[in-house]
Amino acid sequence: MYSEKVMDHFSNPRNVGEIEDASGVGEVGNAKCGDIMKIYLKIEDNIIKDVKFKTFGCGAAIATSSIATEMIKGRTVEEALELTNKAVVEALDGLPPAKIHCSVLAEEAVKAAIEDYMKKQGKEVESSVSAGIEPDEEACCSKCERKCH
Amino acid sequence: MDGIRGIYMDHAATTYTKREVLEEMLPFFTEYFGNPSSIHKFGRDVRKHVDTARERVAKALGADPSEIYFTAGGSEADNWAVKGTAYANKSKGNHIITTNIEHHALLHTCEYLEKEGFEVTYLPVDEYGLVSVEDVKNAITDKTILISIMYANNEIGTIQPIEEIGKLAREKGIYFHTDAVQAVGSVKIDVKEQNIDMLSLSAHKFYGPKGIGVLYVRKGVKLINFVHGGGQERGRRAGTENVPGIIGLGKAIELANENLEESSKRIMGLRDKLIKGLMDKIPYTRLNGHPVKRLPGNANFSFQYIEGESLLLNLDMKGIAGSSGSACTSGSLDPSHVLLAIGLSHEIAHGSLRLSLGAVNTEEDIDYVLEVLPEIVERLRQMSPLYEKVKGGNTNV
Ligand SMILES: Cc1ncc(COP(=O)(O)O)c(C=O)c1O
Ligand code: FES
């Protein structure tokens, strides 16, 4: 049901952990739903020098967090803000329909961490989660009735 | 070997077909292919064996062969029992009593009947998954026509006080059906002693083939015919018989009953070792279901701070096959209705694991799981943002 790419990131997740003096931290999802993602960023000179994540969730949640951290590491803040859930899904060679919401969570987690960083910098942000792939409403979060945008 | 072994611990989902069972079935595809309804020798020879299978089932349940009806499995038997009694007895009443931990074959049938104007009481269960006989008694009204309560739960393994419920139902003159799909082959059943009016079973849970089951219907129970057509199953469930399936079911139930005590004892020993080992080794772990009133092969845990699917995938990579909730539940994202019914929070229900043991499992399998599983849980916890907050503590929940 999962692609090889997903299984690779699930079994050898990249960038697991915490950053103690993180420039920004973002946490999204909730335990009731079965997924929480937390992303830590170390930003210097507007560049994401380091990124770590912790995730409570299914295989897809772990894989999307892992690949999202890879995709933004070394990028500028602006580039990282452009990360879409669609790009995450493509980088993983696809996800089952019921798991698309995990890619949305990954995008949201990155954005939440950047927002936190901006706030600490005293900058205003109006980040919005990209439309990306329209997840199938029924498959997405029947448990928490969360709409995945 | 790179540490990978194939260890099957999902016997509650299905079992393999035992070789002796398969061997009895095979001639009925080729040599003995006749239609059991035919008058010629080809048909008569097959009919004899179908009758033998029916007798074997009757013997295993303490029933009469004329009370055994073959169906296409457990789901069909459940559907027939509940819809069949509901429609046949609607002049007497429209009320059905069941529990909120039944298999979907039962629950979805009840939901359907609610749309048809029937009223259904879904009794709650306690933290171990037990229904209270007192609650059953209090739920009875003068409109109650059926009590349907599962013998043993497929997820948490809890065994219900079937005999007492049967006695109560008989006293009140209400039909009593039990979904015994998980129980047959694992626990001793006697439909007469236990006052069971109807009982569902399915061969693929006790080393028989898939797609064949039985509804036992006590003589005198008013039930509508389920499949209209020819005269098979005394006209109540028409259609040319699944002969190889019936033969296989007959052999499988006979085998299961012959070895019932011995095999249950062996499997129970393995189960208890598994439960004790995991509870000792993994903190923040809860055993779901009843400590003793449970199926011999069932072990169900919740590991706090981690999620079940990632646990299953990791186990699968180590060659261990388990499940999280029932196989039917795994298609959806919702945590299992059974785990919620015994009072688990969504969060803890997400971290559940069912390991159901059976004939293929050995002492070494248990040792291997006890070695591998704690590491997997710890690795996932290290990755979990929920665990950060509690690290350090070391208590079972
Ligand atoms: C308790 C219970 N009832 C009914 C069924 C359905 O049986 P079958 O798969 O033969 O339709 C199952 C099997 O999953 C079960 O565990
Ligand atoms: S956010 Fe994942 S199920 Fe609701």
Q: Is the Cβ–Cβ distance between B204 and B14 less than 8 Å?
A: yes
Q: Can you state the angle between helices B74-88 and B104-115, rounded to 10 degrees? A: 30
DSSP class per residue in A67-117? HHHHHHTT-BHHHHHT--HHHHHHHTT---GGGHHHHHHHHHHHHHHHHHH
Q: β-strand B285-287 against A24-30: which pairing, if any?
A: unpaired
DSSP class per residue in B344-356? --HHHHHTEEEEE
Q: Nearest by CB to A56, which of B307, B333, B335? A: B307
* B110 carries an active-site annotation: no
**Alpha helices, H only, B282-394:** 308-317, 337-341, 346-350, 363-382, 385-388
Per the prediction, chain B carries an average pLDDT of 94
B56-80 average pLDDT score: 98
Reported as a single tens digit per residue, the pLDDT across B128-149 is 999 999 999 999 999 999 999 9
Residue B315 distance to chain A (closest CA, Å): 11
Q: Whose CA is nearest to atom 16 of ligand 1?
A: B154
Q: How far is the CA of B327 from the centre of ligand 1 (A)?
A: 10
Q: Name the pLDDT band for A1 (thresholds 50, 70, 90).
A: confident
B95-104 average pLDDT score: 97
Bridge partner list, B336 = none
| Dihedral in degrees, nearest 10, Cα atoms B84, B90, B94, B99 | -20
Does the pLDDT at position A29 exceed 80? yes
Does the pLDDT at position B328 exceed 50? no
B259-269 average pLDDT score: 96
Which positions in chain A touch B311 (Cβ < 8 Å)? none
Mention every residue, 6+ apart, whose C-beta is less than 8 A from residue A62.
Answer: A9, A10, A13, A55, B310, B383
Q: Per residue in B196-210, is it b (16+ CB within 10 Å) or e — as a string? A: bbbbbbbbbbbbbbb
pLDDT on residue A122: 86
Which positions in chain B touch A62 (Cβ < 8 Å)? 310, 383
Selecting among A58, A102, A141, A144, the annotated active-site residue is: A102
pLDDT on residue B152: 98
Any atom of ligand 2 within 6 Å of the Cβ of A146: yes
Reported as a single tens digit per residue, the pLDDT across B274-303 is 999 999 999 999 999 999 999 999 999 999
Reported as a single tens digit per residue, the pLDDT across A83-115 is 999 999 999 999 998 888 899 999 999 999 999
